[in-house]
Amino acid sequence: MFQFKKDGATLRLTVSALLAVLFFTIYMLLCAHTRLNPLKTGALFIVLYIVLVVALELVCRYISTKSAGAVAPENADMLSEISLDIMGKLYLPVLICDESNKIIWYNRAFSKIADRSTPMYGMYLDSLAGITCEDIKAADNTQGGSFEVFEIPFAIKGYPFTTQGKSYLLSVWRDQSELHRALQRIADEEAGIAYIVIDNLGELAQFVHGKGRSVSAEVSQILAEWADSVGGLLQEYDNDKFMFIFNRRYLADFVESRFAVLDRVHEIRMGEENLPVTISIGIADISGTIAEKEAGACSALDMALQRGGDQAVVKHQNGMDIYGGRTKTVQKRTKVRSRVLAEEVVALISASANVLVMGHRNADFDSLGACCGMARISMYCGIKANIIANLDDPNLAKCFDKLLTLPEYRDIFVDSTSALDKIRSDTLLIIVDVNNSRQFESSEVYKNAHRVVFIDHHRKTEEFTEEPVLSYIEPSASSTCEIIAEMLETALPSGILEKEEADVMFAGIQLDTKQFTRNTGVRTFSAALYLRGEGANPVEANRLFRTDFEDFMRKARFEANIVIYRKEIAIAVSEADLSSGMDRIAAAKAADNLLTIDHVTASFALCRIGDVVHISARSSGAINVQIILEKLNGGGHYDSAAAQINGGTLEGALERLKEAIDEYMEN
């Protein structure tokens, strides 16, 4: 092959000269022996000559380019040795593996990061580093894939090649430790935003008049000391409401101490009953602009308040972590919020074509009574309403018999399938007595509805997948029927609510308050008084609770199999595997009865119905059973909660329950 770099120019000049002589000779012969026009013939030959010379130049340049990387055969071995020597001395770790992940070659830098005194030839990459060549190739990009190997973050770039019919992968490893530390420093110095409110001062002040301001000052002092300890900024932007700005790196310390500031505030007590003051905290642990963090902190605070307060909620990119929530909420005395809520609900119903109302699966008196109350408001507004319910539920048979005597209720109940056919763009879906999407009577209806209202008294357990048009979650209320009764008193003229509806709603309040013995307040009795005035008869309501002999025996099975766990928690298990929903009701009643045992502060009753294990939990107020069952994807109230475990055994569910109890008690 010609060495164009040395003598290519000389060759081109020689060929050009020879072409010129050849063209001139042919031109002279043609002019001497033919009658061709000499001028035209000469011009043609000149053009042809120029074209050939240009073509020759292009060809030579192409050959020169292609041969620029060529290596003389006698130099190939020398360059191979140079390449291997350079890779061996390269500061970046380099590794070559075959297609079976066996290590063929590595340089000194790789030996150093592997920190092995014995040779690694013949070892397999997956056993040495926990990754494979396929992982490197699959995660490959312009910068290489990110891997944690030898407790060091690496960006590993792979270069597949084939030689002598075998496939290999050459990988170059770049240590990303400095980059990660720099990114962590940037993240640590980011501003964290928290909103803090004193969430029960207004309710506690009713017991000690004139002490509210001094207590507020004590709480402000504790919060100021907390802010000063991390060099943060605390600003009170409204009465008993604060914004706290801090360096994000301190959030890990807050979490490690499980927000000890909550306990410091608990030490402030009010009144003869020594009631604790509580605060709620919402923090956004997300990336983004200050405005986005502020919105996230607001969302986290809203979650804390809708769960009953006395807790810190940290909002992440993909969820929330919750700390605290061990103090029972104090019931609010004012009805201002319920009056405003009633006006908003009436306006939404009046602007709708039809209304669908539903509660939770395995509905109880509180859920059905709340549905009836909302349906009655819709009827009063002249809007067609339907209640999504299971008419075959034996636990509600007496309620259905009572309600179906009313003409307007003969076509009001629909199942989930029929409800889907009634959904339009201007349909309003009202969900009562539940805010956990896993417990809805019909998840499909919820997913297809465009306008949703939530009214509930259970602590909020998760964020809504889509923002509702209206949400009122009040954990301090005894029952959802209490909330609805307050709305009815504002929205309806006296005498509009039917006696049968009032009976069911009265039974709903009785159920959740255990015959007005637990979680009651002034508003609870006020709601009961309103329902009594609308025709509710306590005797009629109590008949809904009467059980037959078989139900009595079901409850007895639980009480025959009781263990006391951690000296203060009673756990009852029914070994019967029945497909009847009556066992679930028996479990709830058994959990109630277990609280009558001396020194028992919480109770749990487990039963299996089909392939689902049901857990009912009750508390005397010392233990938050809702937090315990949240760990099993359940929920409920501070002193009354439930959970369902699909596809498990009673033994497995019992072990999971004990683990959740242990975690709660230890934290």
Strand, helix or coil for residue 507: helix
Of 534, 429, 456, 536, nearest in space to 491 by CA = 534
The string of pLDDT tens digits covering residues 354-383 is: 999 999 988 999 999 999 999 999 999 999
Q: Where in the chain is the domain with CATH 3.30.450.20?
A: 86-179
Q: Do β-strands 233-238 and 191-198 pair in parallel, antiparallel, or remain unpaired?
A: unpaired
Taking only the tens place, the pLDDT of each residue in 449-499 is 999 999 998 878 777 878 899 999 888 888 999 999 999 999 999 999 999
Q: What is the mean pLDDT of residues 331-353?
A: 82
Return the CATH architecture of domain 86-179. 2-Layer Sandwich (3.30)
CB 555 within 8 A of CB 586: yes
Nearest to 191 by CA among 256, 283, 258, 253: 283
The CATH 3.30.70.270 portion of the chain extends over 191-324
* 302: confidence class by pLDDT, cuts 50, 70, 90: confident
The residue with greater pLDDT, 307 or 300, is: 300
Alpha carbons 97 and 170: distance in angstroms, whole number: 7
Instruction: Express as a percent the part of the chain with pLDDT over 70.
Output: 88
pLDDT band at residue 306 using 50, 70 and 90 as cut-offs: confident
* CATH fold of 336-543: inorganic pyrophosphatase (n-terminal core) (3.90.1640)
What is the model's pLDDT at position 9? Answer: 66
In angstroms, the CA 171 to CA 145 distance is 11
Q: Is 563 helix (H, G, I), strand (E, B) or coil?
A: strand
- Describe the crossing of helices 336-350 and 480-491 by its angle, rounded to 10 degrees: 70
User: Average pLDDT in the 196-201 region?
Assistant: 85
Q: Which of 192, 191, 200 is nearest to 280 (CA)?
A: 200
Write down the residue that tokens 């071995």 correspond to.
77
Q: How many CB atoms lie within 10 A of CB 452?
A: 20
With cut-offs at 50, 70 and 90, classify the pLDDT of residue 268: confident
Average of per-residue pLDDT across 419-425: 94
CA–CA gap between residue 292 and residue 472 (Å, rounded): 24
Q: Where are the CATH 3.90.1640.10 domain residues in the chain?
A: 336-543
pLDDT surpassing 50 at residue 72: no
Q: Assess contact for 217 and 223: CB atoms under 8 A.
A: no
Q: How many CB atoms lie within 10 A of CB 236?
A: 14
Query: How high does pLDDT run on average in the chain?
Result: 84
CATH node for 191-324: 3.30.70.270
**pLDDT at 295 exceeding the cut of 50:** yes
> 549-666 has which fold?
Diaminopimelate Epimerase; Chain A, domain 1 (3.10.310)
Over residues 144-177, the pLDDT tens digits come to 888 999 889 999 998 898 888 889 999 999 999 8
Could you report how far apart the first and last alpha carbons of the chain are, in Å?
81
| Greater pLDDT, 209 or 245 | 245
Residue among 430, 437, 433, 390 at smallest CA distance from 413: 390
What pLDDT does 41 receive?
Answer: 74
Helix spans in 442-533 (H):
443-448, 480-491, 499-513, 522-533
pLDDT digits (tens, 9 = 90+) for 632-646: 988 877 788 888 888
Compute the distance between CA of residue 504 and CA of residue 406 in angstroms, rounded to an integer: 13
Name the pLDDT band for 70 (thresholds 50, 70, 90).
Answer: very low
Place of tokens 């002019």: 31
472 to each of 76, 283, 314, 340, 649, how far by Cα in Å? 80, 22, 21, 11, 37
Contact 341, 309 (CB under 8 A): no
Residues of the chain with CATH 3.10.310.30: 549-666
Return the minimum-mean-pLDDT range out of 148-157, 194-203, 426-435. Answer: 194-203
Task: Please give the Cα distance from 329 to 626 (Å, whole number).
Answer: 13
Please give the pLDDT value at position 481.
Answer: 96
pTM of the model: 0.61
Provide the token pair at 34: 């033919």
